[in-house]
Copies of this chain bind each other. A is one copy, B any other.
Amino acid sequence: MTNAELAILSLIAEKDCHGYEIESLIEERGLREWTEIGFSSIYYLLKKLEKKKWITGKVVRQAGPGRSRVVYHISAAGWKALRASTLEALSVPHRTTSPMQVGLANLPAVSKDEALAALRQQSEGLSEHQGRLQARRESQQPLPFFVNAMFDLALIKITTELDWLDQFIKQLEQMHDEN
């Protein structure tokens, strides 16, 4: 199961949902901070999960305007897959090279000044992201311990990267320009 599939499946595991509702859940909880599922992908992913028999859809006509919804419910096989996939995600390390690291590998292609400007921008963007995460965590307390753990890990990773980056910028500033 892919990350995107797992994310959708776990929302349905929590509570029966239709596509539009999943979109609002994602929006509401700021899940876009964690995944990159676009609106147009939700229905695609739902169909995929249904094809695998992990969820089953039921057309529901409701009071109020608008067409009927398809409300999805997780199946026994879906729970099994969710558990298996969660364990796999927890156990298998996944090497992650950020674009910035790839950029670093190509540092000689740009001038010192350009590199410095770019890295300062990176640093600012990272700080903003850090701030957003911190704010979101604080605004939602108290949270279950495992959600706090997620925030912790995310924040610690960003902070580490930011510290390293700021030190690297200083180091680069003091270097002789070879370009």
A residues near B (Cβ < 8 Å) are 3, 6-7, 10, 13, 33-36, 79, 82-83, 86-110, 114-115, 117-119, 121-122, 125-126, 129, 144-147, 149-150, 152-154, 156-157, 160-161, 164, 168, 175
Contact = CB atoms under 8 A, between A and B. Distances in A.
B100 A94 contact: yes
A153 B3 CA distance: 25
Contacts of A145: 175
B95 A89 contact: no
B3 A91 contact: no
11 contacts: A6-B106, A7-B102, A34-B101, A34-B102, A83-B110, A89-B103, A90-B118, A90-B119, A91-B121, A91-B122, A153-B168
A126 B36 CA distance: 25
Contacts of A97: 3, 34-35, 154
Q: How many copies does the complex hold?
A: 2
Nearest to A93: B125
Contacts of A86: 103, 106-107, 109-110
Given A129-B95, A153-B164, A90 B105 contact: no
B154 A164 contact: no
User: Counting chain B CB atoms within 10 Å of each CB, which of A33, A79, A117, A150 scores highest?
Assistant: A150
Contacts of A7: 102, 105
A33 B99 contact: no
B103 A94 contact: no
Q: Which 4 residue pairs spanning A and B have beta carbons closest together?
A: A89-B103, A93-B125, A90-B118, A91-B118
A107 B149 CA distance: 10
A107 B164 contact: no
Nearest to A163: B156
